[in-house]
Amino acid sequence: MQLILILLVVIGGMGLSVEAGLLGPLGHQVGELWATLSIFGVGAGLTFLLMLFFSPRNSPSFFAQPGWTLVGGILGPVYVVILTLATPSIGIALTMIGVLAGQVFKSLIIDHYGLFGTPHRPVNRQRVAALIFIIAALGLVAQG
């Protein structure tokens, strides 16, 4: 099961690279904020359709959830605007490796302290080494 999930997140990462490649030209044509709105509008429409057919009808109310859980709704558009601005200037590879470096760095902190209700997974040498390799890749791609 873990292998299937790893494969799914790798495929999801590939999708993010495609999205970054599409956002640059779209942002150039219609503006960064309109490009961001279009991505989230299409995504919201698709999610709504999926909810109609696949979401359990007796799930807890969205409005009963703590407000801090909705911060992702702010972070998503910020991320997409950054992709839209950065990708045409520095390229998809450098953008994605930079995103990956930030994600892994922050993920190590979140895992280590078990933030946001996630299981505690302490930082160890292998995880730090992985981050160092990602930062090295960032430096190598930036120079190349």
pLDDT digits (tens, 9 = 90+) for 82-120: 999 999 999 999 999 999 999 999 999 999 999 998 999
pLDDT digits (tens, 9 = 90+) for 36-72: 999 999 999 999 999 999 988 787 877 888 888 888 8
Could you give the angle at which helices 72-90 and 32-54 cross, rounded to 10 degrees? Answer: 130
Distance CA(114)–CA(111), nearest Å, equals 5
Question: Whole-prediction pTM value?
Answer: 0.84
